[in-house]
Amino acid sequence: DIQMTQSPSSLSASVGDRVTITCRASQNIISYLNWYQQNPGKAPKLLMYSASTLQSGVPSRFSGSGSGTDFTLTISSLQPEDFATYYCQQSYSIPYTFGQGTKLEIK
């Protein structure tokens, strides 16, 4: 199975900050990497697919990059609604594993 490791596990930031979350795969997954946002008590929401393609309706302050084993999700200017937990997911092979999550908290 492909292991997905996110860092950091938690992050404190302020509105307007630029933040970056990293996701590392245990083997080459090319660009088969997706990002989700989850608010407490809610279902995950797709933000980004294929490493860098923004899902329809997602604000452009979100961006993704990377290929191979190392990927990043960047939020250029944090808004109050962005404080949530973020998960990466590889779609290269079954089982479709997720990272452990990064909880973004208000400083």
The three-class DSSP label of residue 72 is strand
71 is an interface residue for another protein by CB under 8 A: no
CA distances to 28, 39, 40, 95 from 65, rounded to whole Å, are 15, 23, 26, 23
Among 43, 60, 80, 81, binds another protein (CB under 8 A): 43
Among 13, 44, 63, 83, binds another protein (CB under 8 A): 44
Phi, psi of 82 (to 5 degrees): -85, -10
- Closer CB to another protein, residue 26 or residue 50? 50
Token output for 70: 């190392």
Q: Which residues bind another protein (CB under 8 A)?
A: 1, 32, 34, 36, 38, 42-46, 49-50, 55, 87, 89, 91, 94-101
